[in-house]
Structure formats: structure tokens, C-alpha cells
Chains A and B, each alone.
Chain A
Amino acid sequence: MIIRDMMPGFELYQPKSIEDAVALLDKHGKDSWRLAGGNDSLSWFKDRAKKPKVVVDLTAIPALRGIKETADGVEIGALTSLTEIERHPGIRQKFRTLAEAAAKVASPQIRNSGTLGGNVAQDARCWYYRAGMPCYRAGGNTCYADTPEGMNREHALFEADRCVAVTPSDINPVLVALEAKMVVRNAKGERVINAEDFFIGPRVDITRMTAMDTKDLLVAIRVPNTWAGAKLYFEKVADRESWDFPLVNIASAMVVRDGVVQQARIVCGGVQCTPRRLRVAEDVVKGKTPSPDVAKLAGQSVTRGARPLNYNHFKVPLMANLVARAVRDST
């Protein structure tokens, strides 16, 4: 690129209600951009790699904010800051891993401005894509990362389809593990999507990472009581302890009765385009005592089918180790 790090101009809308926001998105469609905390958006704009004509700033919509404890669980407004989630007593008590994952995102400044919806809907961090290269995901007809000499340490082990980018979120695996529901609104109405179905891979649509299209607005996320009281685990491995994306992260929930695992959900981030539900590991642990041996076996079970690229085969043992830790160390 001949110039980057300098934001171009755009038309800015600051609606005060969800209805107005949805109407704006409906009107401008593909020309529009949903702006929440701005941490993902502004880096795209500043790099001049994405230049939307219309930016819809959602931060002035009070209805998108706040955490409500309901009979069924908690409902979190999409514009709720990650800091609020990290500190919320109800979440910390019932869904500790959601608070822990929120606390591991980026840096305190970014967590203060960054929102749940923004984190969940953030775009891929593949450096080639971020540098504005005309790759598949950017609408082009090649992948620069998956080449014989591509620099792809942070890229996918599984489910690659032309694009090898991974989900960079720390929150998403937790939402899948806890069976969260995503509440999405557009001009036609509201729909509720399971977190597991909300995140989509390149095979479904290579230009986006969620089930939402440009006219959709994520309004809230509901975390049901299903896994409240279960043994939970979250861990993130990154180069740095602050301001870094995960190399691999893990989220799990297990119901253990009389020392035996009754139910389990284990989900891994950073290894494919979507949070990867590790059903094989769940099957390994179900009906067993989560002993070190079972944990190890669960870890070993998850790497089958991994297709490492040039620089990311470390993710294979790392992922196995994290699964073993989730089974062995969850509390």
C-alpha cells in the first residue's frame, strides 16, 4: 500500500434507538459499517483497507447496553463493555469463564472501550488480509497465507477453505461452550441464533465470520442457566500477557456428579475460522472421572484431522495440552 495509518472521510450517523439503527443499516446495506467500540473498525479505516461510505455509530443507543439477570440466565446488551462483563458479580458467580475471557482481551483501555458485540463480531486478524492484500476474504482470488513460504504461525489447523484465518476472539469459545444465544435484529424483525451456529467458516461465506449480513444488528447475547454451577475452564495462550490475540484458547463446561462427568462442552479458539467444538473430547470424558489420564486422552483425541501450515504445527500439541488442562484443572 502506498499510504496507511490515516483515516479517510465517511458519513457518520449516530442513531439513538435500535429501530433507527436498523433502518439506517437497511437503507445503506453494503455501503454501511456498524461501529461499536471502534477497536476493530478504526484500524481498518486507518489502514485505508476498508472505506465504508456510511458509518453507523451504535454507542449512543442506551437499549444496547447493560446486563440483565433473568429467570433463564443473563442477557447482555451488545454494547456492554468488556470491563463491565469482567466485573459483573452475577456473571462472575454463574459464568466465571465469561468474565475471565473478557479480562484477557487486549488491554484495560481496549476493554473499557471495547464491547461484547464488537468482540464477538470482530474480523479476522490474518496479517495479509489486514494489510489490505486482495485475498479471497477481501474479495480477491488467492490466499497469501497458505503458500509454500507463507508466514502463517497464527493461522488455522482445521476447516480451511481457501482462507486459513482463525477466529481471534477470546469470548467466542466461551459463548459456544455456555450455549449462548445471539439476538439479532433487522428491518424484518428479530431472530435468535445459537452461538454455535452464529460463527461461520469460509465454506459458508468467505467474506464474513458471522451469520449476520450488513443489514443485521446484534442487539444482545443471552447466556442460559444451562451450565451455571458446572465446572468451568478458560485459558488463553498468547505471546504477551496483555494486548495480544490468542495463539490458542480453550473454554469448557463440565457437569460432574459423584466424580463422574455427566455432560461436557469443550471449545477451542484460534485453530479454525470458528470456535471449534471438540465433540470427540467431550465423548472421551463423558461417563469418566476427569483424571490426568482421561484428560490426556481427551487432549490426544482432538488433533486428528489437523492440517498444519508452515509455521503453526505447534498448535497441535498446544491444543491437546489445553484440552487436557481443561479436563484436569477445571473448577
Chain B
Amino acid sequence: MAFKHIGKDFLPPDVTAKVTGRARYAEDFRAEGMLFAKLLVSPMPHAKVKRIDTSAALKMKGVVAILTADDVPQFPPPEDPILTNEPLFAGQPILAVAATDEYIAAEAVERIKVDLEPLPFVTDPLDSLYPGGPNARENANVANIRLNLQTLKWEAGDFANAGDGKLPMGKPAEQWSYGDVDAAMAKAKLVIDESFVTQGLAHHSMEPRSAMATWQNGKCIVYGSSQSGSFVVPGLARLVGVKPEEIVYVGEYCGGGFGSKAGAYPLMAIPAHLSKKAGKPVLLRITRAEEFALGQGRPGFQGRVKIGFAENGRILAMDMYVVHENGPNTGFPDFRNAGSAASIVFQPETMRWRGISVLTNTPPRGAQRGPGENQIALALEPLIDKAARELNLDRVAIRRINAPDNDGKIGERREPLSSAYLKDALDKGAAQFKWEEKKKLSGQRQGSKVIGIGVGQAYHSAGSFGFDGLVRITPDGKIHIHTGVGNLGTFSYASTSRIAAEVLNCKWENCIIERGDSRRHLPWNLGQFGSNTNYTMSRTNYVAAMDAKQKLLEIAAANLGGKPEDYDLGEEVVVSKADRSKSVTFAKAAQLAIDMGGKFSGREMAEDLNPITKASVSALAGTGLIGVAKDKLPKKGLTPALAAAFAMVEVDTETGKVKVLEVVNVADCGYVIHPAGLATQVNGATVMGLGLACLERYVYDPKLGLPANVGFYQCKPPSYLDVPPAMEWAAVDKPDGDNPMGVKGIGEPIQGSAASAIVSAISDALGGHLFNRTPIVADMIVNQVAKQAQSYKPLQVNTM
């Protein structure tokens, strides 16, 4: 297919602002009389507030207002509260002080006396599942989205039966299966049964979740940091306690979210409530230490999987159990995602999944890039290697024989897929990486250094549907593409806007992306998360542009004679198919739309649009030709994003240092809309994957319930010098059948593929040794090579 814009690089309009420092993030905003807020946070992992004495603080000059949990809306547990009288993790906000400057606010916080009654706490799910073990909340130790707060304890026999180093498997909170797993396992040539631990880790978004709020004319204006735009509004309205139409949300840029800023979050509402109480605008700047505790994190897994292989490597049966460290609140369903990810990546002929989401007094968890899918990639991919070694198969071939194609299925219900090219990704990656040649380097030694090569794969769903698109052509000839999707920093808000330009056959320089502020009248869109933007937004922008196109053709017919189908679009002009001299420019058509009114100028609109879209259209009515529609395009199956990666590492057996020499990471993301944007995504994911494989994790002192690593230097995301010297990317570039432009998302699995390829390569360098634990840090390798015990206990979490 020949495209005008799709598949071509362009300069996203926010880039210049970012590199020149002109971009304004939440904490850059100021307002007349604005106050600064500081938080008082819990020093304990679980406690009850008995008494708060603010008298000394309130006497201080410059202190204006103090907000406590009693001043803000309460939500049913285990939702994240805005402020709390029962902190469930160290660092949870108890109250906020607004003062004329931050120094005074901080000083005031220290003068507040809070009496806390310490309560039992737990940092390891297995400790909580043990009979009589501590609960993270009073009366509950299990919860998740659509999993009610409850107490669930295993039996001591479950633990005793498991034996050393194996995950006990007591009663799960949830389970599903398809096929006869036991019968298939019995037929298997090789059965692998391994327990594993994947780490929890903080998101560490570069921009902490600061927010400024002010009230004007009954509306609450919030300057926030979110991955999303319109999607933030309903949730924020609920947190603030107003109707969605009373919220103005401003957020043009976002300094990273990785899933943690998908929608509205409780901290975003604190300035709004404080501002109402103080009668002045309030800015809350979140610090790095606060962002560590409040910026969400990825749940860790304690898991066990039994896999039955046929002689040719085909997976006949998979039996997986995931214990999910959920933090204290609602959390995110990583444990479920682990099951569905394994079911699609490996297409097991039969499968059982069991899981339990256990509450701990550690930071609240949220989605982090490939939530569940990437943890399970870290756990499973090395086991596939182990099977390949035992069955004497090539490690790519064993993946290929299990990988899904377009006939692949996912999950318990064996749902169909809209497209799956994982085999192509493996083939393309193997060729680019030169797998066959590199295989010869495996295990090659030079002094203390040994080479390992690895391959990894990962999955995430890649798109949603049912949202609204809105484009507007104004009499000056400009095409305004209104997008409520947000801007998490990937440029996809811009590249998907080009779908409208593609359909309408217009020049990109005449397009204006309207975004970043509710007052720019934005449609109802899904947020930027879940690898969905490319797919979801290309559909909404497609339907809006098609609506505009139809209206352009109708306007031409009404004014130049004939029927709409007698006309076609030239570049920013409607032309008669029969007589090319008969035409009307977009600018002229926009004016005609205003004159004609009705649906053409947005005075009338479809009933099925979301109220947020309707309000925006009403506000824009009469300013031009309005193209607006809800995405009702057909959808045949689940749309998967898939990725395969290859890595070569050098492990120094004397120091335990792993040097990643080379990574090739291949995306199955449908047609590529924006190659430069994709390159940034894939290479960024490779770097982040290195952090997951080798560096980052939560560390908690289990007796104190306090975090050992809070700042960047302690949490150790990869530094520039850790980045592989050779990072390559590629895309399969085959179209998805359910998307009008053939595109789908990719943001998440490319991290899991890189991370698991690195883990696979480290195992290869160490002669196939499986740590069954991430991150693989230097001390684990040193201990392994020295043939001495590891320091962590089997299945221990949140450890060094």
C-alpha cells in the first residue's frame, strides 16, 4: 500500500519544546497567590493514626491550611486513598500542609505531632499465606481488581509438602484451565518443574507526579502529569468530588509514566482539595523519595511452572501457579496477565493457570510496562532454553514450533487473534542477529570472560476500540485533529493523528494537533497505556476523518451539483471525478459547512458519542466542518503485540559483571506508522529490559518494613554506560487485519523480549545454569561460580 504519511518519519510537534526547555510540566505552572504543599508521610509500614496535633504548625507564619484524611472523599478499600488514618506502607501520606513556600511547609510538617499505633505488617506474600501469618490489612491479606478483599491462608501441610526451594501451592484465589493438562503432561517426553521469583520494582518516572490546582468559576483546573488526556477526567472528578464537566485538565507533556500514570491517581487530587480549603491555588511538588513510595511499582512473582514437552519441543501441557505481591491496595492483575501471556506466546495444547494476589505493606502496585507479561517472560524463557538443551533442539526452533501465527489463540476461552507474526519476528531477528553464527560463540572463553547468547519473547494486548474521533476543518484551510489521548512521551499521539491526514489527503504542515488541555475541546479517548494507542487511535482518527470526508463530498455535491459519490478528495480539495475543474477547497468547504449548519458544523451530532465528546463538539459547533464519530469498526479477535529479541552478553566469572554486547529486538506491530518513533520505543525498551534483567528491584528490611533503596542511585536503573554498544531493532511490518490502516501497538512486549533474551544469554554463558530469579546481579554470579550458597532464601522476595 502506498501511503502519504504512514511509514514516514516526521518531527512530532512537542520535540522542539522539549529540547529547548519550553515545554511546561505540571510543576512549571504558577498562579497568583499560589501556595506550596508538603506531605507528612508514614514512617511505619502499617499503623493507625491515634491523634494529630497541628497546633504548633498552624501557629507558624505562612502556614495557610492543613488537609487530613477527614477532609477528603473516602473510597471503598482496597482502593488507594488520597490521605489516610491507617497507613499501609512506609511513605504513605497522612496529611498535607499548604504554606506560602516549601521551606515553611516542610518545617510545619516536622512540627506536627502524629501519634501512630504500630500494627502488624508483612513484606513477603508467603509469610502472609502461612497459617497465622500477618495480614497487610486488618482482616484481609488478599485482593486485586475484581477480587474482593478477603483473608486466605494456606495450610502448614502445603508448605511442608512443597519441600525446599519449591513453591508451596495452597488454595488459589483464581484458576482456569483448558484441555486435560494431567493427561497431556503424562504423554510428555520431557517435564520441567521449576519455581521462580521475579522482582518487584518502582517505576521511577523521571517527572514525579506533581500537580497544581486552582478553582475558577466553579471549575477545578488541574495541571497534572499523566500519560493520558480525556481518560484522566472522570477519575479525577471522582477524586476531587465534582462532576466531570467541572474539571479542566491540563497536561501537554509527561516525563514518563510506564503505566503508573495511566489515569487519575490520588496525589493529583491533593492540591485540588487543599486549594479549596485554602482559597488559593496550590502546587504540590512530589520529591524523588515520595515518587518512590507513591509512584507505583511492578508486583513481584513467586511462581511455579510445570511444562510438558513433546520430543519435537511442542508444549503439550503447561501448569502455572503465580503468587503475586500486590502491595496493600487494589493493585493490578499482573498474575492473570502472566497466564494469558504464556497461553499466547507458547500456545500450549493444554494449560492450567492458578493465582493468588497477596497484600503486602510495600508500595502500591500498578501497571508497569508489560504488567505480568514481562515478569513471566523472565521466568519462562530460560526454562524453554533448558528444554531445548535436554531435547537437543535449537533454542530458536523450539520457540518457533510453539509460537502463534494468525490462527493462534489466547487464554482460557481460546479467543481468536487479529494477527500474530511471532514466527516472522523470530526469523527476522535470527537473521539480523546472525543466530547460527553467534551460536558458535556460546560459551567461548577469554580469560575470566565467557560469552552467552540468548533469545526471548513477550506479548501484550495491542489495542482497544469504541472511542471517539474528532477532526475539524476551519475556513483558513487548517485541519485540526483533536486528540484526547495524552502524551506519555512516545510521539504516538502525533503519529496516530497522521491517520486523519492520510484519510483526508492533506499536507501535514496544514494540520494542527489540538491536545493537552480540556479547553481545546477534546474527544473521549482511551489513555496512553496498554500498548493500545497506535491501534485504538488510528481507528478513532480514521472514523472521524471518514466522517469528515463524507461531509466534504456531500458539501461538494450540494454546492456543485450531483451526488456525493461523484466526488473524490484531491490534496485538500474536493474534486468531481468526471470534471476535474469542478472542485471546492477544504477552506471553502469549511465555510460552506458553517453556512449549512446541522451535522456539517457540529450543531447536530450522533447520539452514540460519549458525553465528553458531545460537550467538545457543542463548544466547537459553527467553527468549521466537524468530522466526529465513534469507532464501531468491526473487530474479529484480540489484537496482540508480540516481540522477539536476541542478545549476546559477556559474563566476567571473577567479578560477576554482565556486559550486554548486542541486542536485536524485533516488533510485530502491524504496519509501522512512524519508524523513528518506533526505533526510540524499541531501543528504550531494550535499555529498560536490561534494568529488569540485571539491576532494579525493591529491597525491604523484613523486620522494619522499610525500603533500602529509594533514590535513583540506589535503585539503579541502567546508566548510559550500561547500555549495550550495539542495539538494533526491526519490525515485521505486516498489517493487522482488524485495523483500517493495518497498525497495532507495541510499547510493552519489547521490554520483556529484551529482558528475557538477556537472562537467557546469561544462563547460556553459565553453561545453562538457571537462577530462576531476577534481577541477576553480580553477587549471584560470583556465588554461583564460587560454588557457594546464594544469600537469599529460596523464594524470598524484596531482597538484595
Contact = CB atoms under 8 A, between A and B. Distances in A.
Given A149-B702, A237-B656, A242 B722 contact: yes
A208 interface: no
A107 interface: yes
A253 B709 CA distance: 35
Chain A to chain B: the 3 pairs with minimum beta-carbon distance, closest first = A5-B287, A241-B721, A314-B779
Contacts of B721: 240-242
A151 B800 contact: yes
Contact of B778 (A5, A47, A150, A247): A247
B778 A2 contact: no
Interface in A1-20: 1-6, 8-9
Interface in B104-141: 106-107, 109-110, 112, 114
Interface string B776-800: 0111101101101001100000011
B67 to A, nearest CB: 15
A9 B105 CA distance: 12
21 contacts: A2-B94, A3-B109, A6-B103, A8-B106, A8-B107, A127-B709, A131-B706, A151-B708, A151-B799, A152-B800, A237-B655, A243-B713, A244-B719, A247-B779, A311-B791, A314-B778, A314-B783, A317-B782, A318-B778, A321-B782, A325-B654
Contacts of A152: 800
Contacts of B702: 149
Interface centre among B657, B712, B791 (most CB of A within 10 A): B791
Nearest to B721: A241
Interface in A225-279: 235, 237, 239-245, 247
Contacts of B701: 128, 144, 149-151
Contacts of B782: 314, 317-318, 321
A3 B95 CA distance: 11
A315 B779 CA distance: 8
Given A237-B655, A241-B722, A244-B713, A3 B706 contact: no
A4 B289 contact: yes
Interface of A: 1-6, 8-9, 43, 47-48, 106-107, 127-128, 131, 144, 147-153, 235, 237, 239-245, 247, 310-318, 321-322, 324-325
Interface in B667-699: 695, 699
Given A2-B41, A4-B289, 20 more contacts: A2-B110, A2-B114, A3-B41, A4-B287, A5-B290, A48-B106, A107-B719, A127-B714, A131-B710, A239-B778, A240-B721, A240-B722, A242-B721, A311-B792, A312-B779, A313-B791, A314-B779, A314-B780, A321-B448, A321-B782
B165 to A, nearest CB: 18
A83 to B, nearest CB: 16
A149 B703 contact: yes
A47 B711 CA distance: 11
A237 B778 CA distance: 9
Nearest to B290: A5
B110 A242 contact: no
Contacts of A150: 701, 703
Given A240-B716, A240-B722, A317-B786, A3 B799 contact: no
A257 B274 CA distance: 75
A168 to B, nearest CB: 11
The prevalent SS among residues of A at the interface is: loop
Contacts of B43: 1-2
A311 B38 CA distance: 36
A103 B364 CA distance: 38
Interface in B395-409: none
Nearest to B654: A321
Nearest to A131: B706
Contacts of B786: 314, 316-317
Contacts of A315: 779
A321 to B, nearest CB: 4
Contacts of A237: 655-657, 778
Contacts of B448: 321, 325
Contact of A151 (B102, B106, B287, B699): B699
Interface string B743-783: 00000000000000000000000000000000001111011
Contacts of A244: 713, 716, 719
Contacts of A147: 703
B40 interface: yes
A2 B114 CA distance: 9
B788 A317 contact: yes
A48 B43 CA distance: 14
Interface residues of B, number: 58
B39 interface: yes
Contacts of A314: 656, 778-780, 782-783, 786, 788, 791
Interface centre among A150, A314, A325 (most CB of B within 10 A): A314
A133 B706 CA distance: 11
Interface string B2-23: 0000000000000000000000
B48 interface: no
Given A313-B788, A325-B654, A3 B38 contact: yes
A153 B714 CA distance: 12
Contacts of B780: 314
A189 B792 CA distance: 51
A240 B695 CA distance: 8
B206 interface: no
B288 interface: yes
Contacts of A106: 713
Interface string B26-62: 0000000000001111110000000000000000000
A152 B708 CA distance: 9
A121 B779 CA distance: 28
B704 interface: yes
Contacts of B289: 4-5, 47
Contact of A239 (B102, B288, B695): B695
A240 B196 CA distance: 24
A2 B654 contact: no
B4 to A, nearest CB: 43
Contacts of B706: 131
B453 to A, nearest CB: 21
A5 B711 CA distance: 10
Contacts of B800: 151-153, 311
Contacts of A322: 654-655
Contact of A243 (B110, B655, B719): B719
B83 to A, nearest CB: 13
B708 A127 contact: yes
A144 B704 contact: yes
B457 to A, nearest CB: 26
A324 B779 CA distance: 18
Nearest to A239: B716
B718 interface: yes
Nearest to A248: B655
B727 to A, nearest CB: 16
Given A149-B701, A314-B779, A242 B791 contact: no
A6 B102 contact: yes
A316 B782 CA distance: 9
B718 to A, nearest CB: 7
Nearest to A9: B103
Contacts of B708: 127, 151
A218 B309 CA distance: 67
Nearest to A132: B43
A318 B722 contact: no
Nearest to A3: B109
A5 B290 CA distance: 8
